[in-house]
Structure 1
Amino acid sequence: MPPFRRTLVPATVLTLAAALLPATAPASAAPAEATPGTVTDFGVQQTALTVFEAHYGTGADDRPVVYGVQMGSPGVLSVTDPVTRELLDTAYLPESSGAWGITQSSDGTVYAGSYPNAHLYSYDPKTRTTVDLGAPVAGQTVLYGLRPGADGRVYGGTYPGAHVFSYAPGEGFRDHGRMYAGEQYVVDVAVDPTRNLLWAAVGTAGHLIRLDLATGEKRDIWPETMRGDANYPYDINLVGGKLFVKRNKLQGLVLDPDTGAVLADGFTMGSRGTSALAPDGRSVYFTSGTDLWRYDLPTDTVGPVRDAAGTPVRSDGAGIGFGFLDGQLYAVIGNYGGQALRYDPATGASERYRLPFPPQALDINNITAGPDGRIWTNLYINGNLAVLDPDTGTATNVGRLGQADGFGWHGGLMYQGVYPYGGVLVYDPAQPYRLGTNPRELFRLQPDGQNRPIAFASAGSRIYVGSTPDYGLWGGALTVYDTATGARTTHRNIVADQGVISLAVVGDRLWAGTTIGGGGGTVPRATEAKVFTADLVTGEKTAEYTPVPGADAITSLVAGPDGMIWGLADGEVFVLDPASGAVTHRVDVPGRSSGVADELVVSTADEHVYAALDGYLHRIDPLTKDVRVIRDAQTYRLTQDGQGNLWFRNGVKAANGAVQYGSHLLRYVPEADDCRRSDLRAQVYAGDATGVPNRYAERGCTVNDLIRDEASWDSHGAFVAHVAAVTDDLVDAGLLSGAEQDAIVAAAGRSNIGR
């Protein structure tokens, strides 16, 4: 499996939600004293709303309801009344973190398809009971695009196997196989129960498969000129005998479902597909930008819906579910605020309102420590930004940003790398938060084929950004941005077919680490990750190294406390000499690589190197390279504050390796260190070289720290006596041998210190 494979998140979900309700404020955690050697849990940082998809259906006693699937810990299926605007039920989807698809079958059962366990859940509206039906296809992590068929059957697609499956009560699951060899996503399906046909939207190379459910015959009807294009079909709906397609870059198409002939194009569709056929027998509704649009089936014409005064009807965001009640159109709008729309085609009247979807504790996607000691967190997919004051234990929701896959700081400003459009934004925490002006967008990398700005570093007036490619593409980039002039240079594919995921400025060079992974839905073309150096002014590559042959990714690079470059590659720590590029040490640490979240930190509190991977937190002695396990679970997204305290989120690792339920922020305070900025010379010096390896003694002090040969001494004899006394204690403690003591005292005796 290629590294850094992420769940495919539609641009609709992440970019087109309209004005949002503030997230519910989390309960404040009582501030805890920063006691060395302890972990403090500051609790859930934010509860917020992420509704992936909504389905208008019927509840108990045929009551009209909206079924929504939400991100949560675990995932949630919520039931609301679109007319009375009440929350009727909140059902949980055990072992999941949410669901991308929801539908109601012809027998009234509601089905949700989850991630990261790729299970199908049934919900009975009459009894309000939820059943985990299990995995339709083994080895999958996401189910997409649930649609009803005949006789209570439902259909859906999978990732990463690009299968289509069905489920029917009394029969169970049926695997209809992989829809296209080499592809990973079936992101939506459409079904014609009368003709026993199904259409599967396949990404990321772009295919639209027409499947005969009776014979198993598959035919690609995606227009030939679009095949292989990473702008693949994303949402599909069969309405009135025509196939409506939204491509993942939001272009809309209407196709003949049998031939793939284009019936209409040239419009934008932001919604999760379209409505069903309206009661008038000719209208199909969807959203485009922040407006409601209509497609007229008989004439194949499309345009904005207008009210009685001729003004476009605003939706204020992307529709994620449509339904008709008493001749009126209802829609859930956006993913994060519970917005909804009612539109009456007879009068042109419309209303925008909110539905009471229940906010949930959501996973922290990224963490960064500000120069003022406050800790910033960003939510996965939802994108809300919050800040914690460690002194009070209070977390405050600042506002919506978007999913930040990278953070950096320079000159007191926060630089933010936002998925899925590859945006790089700058934010001044001293000024009021207002998305668009503070933070404001500096540039976006999607035109350069990038969608995740992950790694940040800075030197002088320049910011450096490492990024990974968009879905279906290969080749990351290194971007140099000059904050003084606004000039930007992006070096695409700076290491062939590899993404740039770690950066560190050391001396007069920029050091960078890569991943062999391409964008989502691709298979790696490269075979081993690289470290490269680049010119700090131009960003041009100056050298390239292979520190760990065969490694898939170099997820972290840091300037070590010993003047060396330390890196983390596939769960192995390496130490590289910046003068020669030679690797001097390789250290296996417990745990396996868990992707881009694996991090190294050199603590300013005790100059040890800390590694977080696979839930572990390790403390590595910079002299001996010995590894000590601090935590063996629930440690992800490591960073540190200015005092050297380590911050991370929790998380539970599922059987398939996915990490869930990471909504808590925690702090580890390193053990007491009486000798900050220790003398880390490789051997002990007592005014002269001793040949004895330097090592840590107690309370963070090395032998060199205790010898103190840099201090001023009243006499040579006083210095030698001090060395003798110190080494006596170290021998008694078992930290030095007698022979080593003799060598150190002898070096002190022949030195010129105190003479």
Structure 2
Amino acid sequence: MTHPLLPHKIGIPVRETNWPRLHSWTAPDGTKSLLGTLGQNTGGLFVIDIDLETGHCRQFGTGLPSADYPTAAWRSPKTGVLYVGSAYPGHLHRYDRQGAAVLEDLGPIDPETARFPTGIAEAPDGSLYIGTWQGACLTRFEPESGRFTRFGSVDPVDHYLYPCIGDDGTAVAMVMVCRPHLVAFDLRTGKPVEIGPKEIVKPTGPPAPLSPLYRGMDGLVYFEDGKSSFRIQGTQMVPVESPPPRHHVAVRGGGTVVRFDDGTVVELHHRPTATNRRLIIRPPDGKGPPRELELDWVGGGTDVFRIHAGPDDRLYGSSLLPEHLFRYDPRSDDLKNLGQCSVSLGEAYSFANHGQKIYLASYPAARLSVYDPEQPVNYGTEPGSNPRDLGRPDDLSLRPYALLAGPGDRIWMGSAPDYGKTGGTLVSYDPGAGRFQSHGNIVTGCCPVSLCWLERQEKLLVGWSIEPGTGASPVALNGAFSFFDPIALESTGITDFGLPGLFDVCSLLATDDGLVYALLSRRQFDGQAEETARPPTLALIDPSKGTVIAHQPLPDACGRDLPNCLFRDQRGGIWGMTHRAVFRLKTGGVEVELVQSYAEDTISAVGAVIGQTAYFGAGPSLCSASVSSHPSDS
């Protein structure tokens, strides 16, 4: 039986912002102006015009649906006008505080390809050059006429383009992420020519390091590869010993820093509270102590990304960009934002209980954290911190879809690879020794995205996906299942159990009688044709016999699948969630009972079932819905 009522909104756990950047400008009369760009999921990105005496913010939004992230921004040193590129509409916006003081929508940067603007640079004549994802495309915008010129892709393989232009007319862009390299481009035609090193070592994080290609405070273009520094002039790279400071510094997770012409430095600090409100103004040397201001911008809400039933009958969850840990107690209806839980500051992809502690794995860098609900909150990376960030397991793991605690007295993680990479590693963490161990090259070209424990075989069953790192295309044709011995630390077999067209084993759940439910996804990845996407399929597998007992697609009413969306309730019942439904599995087969279904995509974050209530995320809200038809309720 379905209940077509809208879910009950318990509340918005987190109201924070992402993609923080400051933009300084000194007017011809010496007056200082400071703007900021901030992103959020509810209400969209906005510009703040900051009062440097009080911290009061005048706030301007786009009014454009899904314009959540200010992924590219540039303030003209000549005019003081701020330009912002919005993801995911891929539009260009303009804020001129000397004019109408509104955030103007200038239109799509490139309606054919641009969804995610990656960078904006200004040429000597005042025209703007914008890099975008997908396709590593380049577009010119002329502010006077409002005309766009779309040059198209500058690279046949990669998808990310970061332009940088100097006052001398030097125009260079960094192409990312499969083969990072530099191209100089013609300001008139957009034609690229590769320059510099054949391949740039990809910056790693988090916090995301500074880009090796940048515009200096002297208005010229520089490149630093960690060993040497160069000034780029046209297509030539000239070695320099002491390059000038950067025009603008933005460090993901750590805040943003800008300088005024007189040497005043302004810092927007994200730490230690993981909010973008603490502004520090440092006058030039010898001209007074620093001042601190609290910014008063108003946030609408941060999307819920994942929800987990903890060991204490409370719910825990993660917000999305920035990543905060939150807690909800259904008994007292108490919803609390616990703050930062990982250096990653992206979102927690997966949770697992180990004893009375909760482990969580976060994007980017697949960093593992541990939280003890019985101890006070004191986030950090040192022993005694709570939550404590335990670190990144290896240089490949990025999106940690799966986490499993227990087998071999270890924490197990399955993760999709880093940007531009393919393949993936199964990771184990030994809490006693505090040591990670990565197990790679198990299924060529695939990454582990789901896990379950086979108690009778004393093996891990691992679900593998063809998903590549963002920006790359799949190299494997099919996903797989594999068995892994947690004591010997070795793979003991790979199979598809005879299931055809396997792309993505997105969820696994073992039953009490030794069988396994698997949800098989046919998501579309970069480089694949649209028709490859198909509805998710539910399969019931007997791993001891290596056979499939039954399989069939989920009902159409379920809509699209969600990662690791099969789970148990407190009484052992098996449940699943998709974007449009909460369903219960009938043990012994693949029939599902839709307990809640919605006409549109409503569920954005998989949750849990406690008692007679299902909990899940819907945008920024933690929501609940009745599942009172649970068979054990009678």
TM-score class normalised by the smaller sequence: 0.7 to 0.9
Computed over aligned residues only, the root mean square deviation of the Cα atoms, in angstroms, reads: 3.5
Change (3 A) 1:644 1:488: farther
On the 8 A contact 1:424/1:443 being kept in 2, the answer is yes
Q: CA offset at residue 145 of structure 1?
A: 1.6
Determine if the alignment matches structure 1 residue 146 to structure 2 residue 120.
yes
The 2-side partners of 1:347 and 1:332 are apart by: 22
Distance 1:321 1:509, change over 3 A: same
CA 421–625 in structure 1, closer or farther in 2 if over 3 Å, else same: closer
Residue 602 of structure 2 is matched in structure 1 by: 634
The one of 565, 575, 585 equivalent to 1:599 is: 565
Aligned to 1:238: 215
CA offset digits 1:350-402 (Å, max 9, x no partner): 52523514334111122111122211121212111111122232211212113
Aligned-partner residue type, residue 215 of structure 2: L
Counterpart CA distance in 1 for 2:561 and 2:237 is: 42
* 1:621 pairs with 2:586: yes
1:671-725 deviation per Cα after TM superposition (whole angstroms, max 9, x unaligned): 334547xxxxxxxxxxxxxxxxxxxxxx6xxxxxxxxxxxxxxxxxxxxxxxxxx
What are the within-5 Å matches in structure 2 for residues 383-422 of structure 1? 383-401=323-341, 402=345, 403-422=347-366
Name the structure 2 match of 1:365. Answer: 305
Q: How does 1:127-526 map to 2 (within 5 A)?
A: 127-137=100-110, 138-150=112-124, 152-169=126-143, 170-186=145-161, 188-192=162-166, 194-195=168-169, 197-224=171-198, 226-227=199-200, 234=211, 236-239=213-216, 240=218, 242-245=220-223, 253-259=229-235, 261=237, 263=239, 275-276=246-247, 318=254, 320-324=256-260, 326-334=262-270, 336-347=275-286, 351=290, 353-356=292-295, 357-401=297-341, 402=345, 403-436=347-380, 437-447=385-395, 449-459=396-406, 461-486=409-434, 488-507=436-455, 508-526=458-476
1:64 pairs with 2:33 = yes
Task: Look up the match of 2:533.
Answer: none
User: In the alignment, what sits opposite 1:648?
Assistant: 616
* Residue number among 551, 554, 557 corresponding to 2:505 in the alignment: 554
Q: Give CA deviations for 1:618-674 in whole Å, capped at 9, x if unaligned.
A: 444345633444223211222325547432111xxxxxxxxxxx1101123323345
Deviations 1:545-581 (A, max 9, x none): 2254333211110114664211111111111112122
CA contact (8 A) 1:386 1:396 kept: yes
2:592 is the alignment partner of 1:670: no
1:588 and 2:553 correspond:
yes
Structure that is richer in helix per residue: 1
TM (norm. structure 1) is: 0.70
Q: Aligned partners of 1:520 and 1:275: how far apart in 2?
A: 28
* More off after superposition, 78-87 vs 188-197: 188-197
Question: Are residue 113 (structure 1) and residue 89 (structure 2) matched?
Answer: no
> Match for 1:611 among 576, 601, 604?
576
Aligned-partner residue type, residue 328 of structure 1: T
1:198 positional shift: 4.3
Q: For residues 645 and 265 of structure 1, what CA distance do their matches in structure 2 show? A: 64
Superposed displacement of residue 513, structure 1: 0.8
Whether 1:527 aligns to 2:477 is yes
Q: 1:221, 1:258 within 8 Å by CA — same for their partners in 2?
A: no
Say whether the 8 Å CA contact 1:244–1:274 is kept in structure 2. no
Task: Please tell me whether the aligned partners of residues 35 and 47 of structure 2 are also in contact (alpha carbons under 8 angstroms).
Answer: no
> Does the residue aligned with 2:327 lie in a helix, a strand or coil?
strand
Shift of residue 485 of structure 1?
4.7
2: CA distance between counterparts of 1:135 and 1:98?
A: 15
* Alpha-carbon displacement from aligned partner over 1:567-618 (angstroms, at most 9, x marks no partner): 11111111111212222222212279867635122445583x4333344434
- CA drift of 1:182 comes to 0.4
Please identify, of 132-141 and 409-418, the stretch whose mean Cα deviation from structure 2 is larger: 132-141
SS in 2 for 1:361: coil
Which residue identity is paired with 1:666?
Answer: C
Matches of 1:499 and 1:238, distance apart in 2: 38
Asked if 2 retains the 8 angstrom alpha-carbon contact of 1:561 and 1:622, the reply is no
Q: Are the aligned partners of 2:393 and 2:437 in contact in 1 as well (CA < 8 Å)?
A: no
Native 8 Å contact 1:161 1:183 kept in 2: yes
Aligned letter for 1:156?
Answer: I
Distance, in Å, in 2 between the alignment partners of 1:65 and 1:462 is: 49
Q: Is the 8 A contact 1:57 1:67 kept in 2?
A: no
* Alignment check: 8 A CA contact 1:52 1:320 kept: yes
Structure 1 residues 66 and 513: alpha-carbon distance in aligned structure 2, compared to 1, 3 A threshold: same
Identity %: 22
Write the distance in 1 (CA, Å) between the matches of 2:251 and 2:4.
55
What is the CA distance between 1:163 and its match in structure 2?
0.8
Between the aligned partners of 1:209 and 1:97, the Cα distance in structure 2 is 30
Is the 1:603–1:610 Cα contact (8 Å) retained in structure 2?
yes
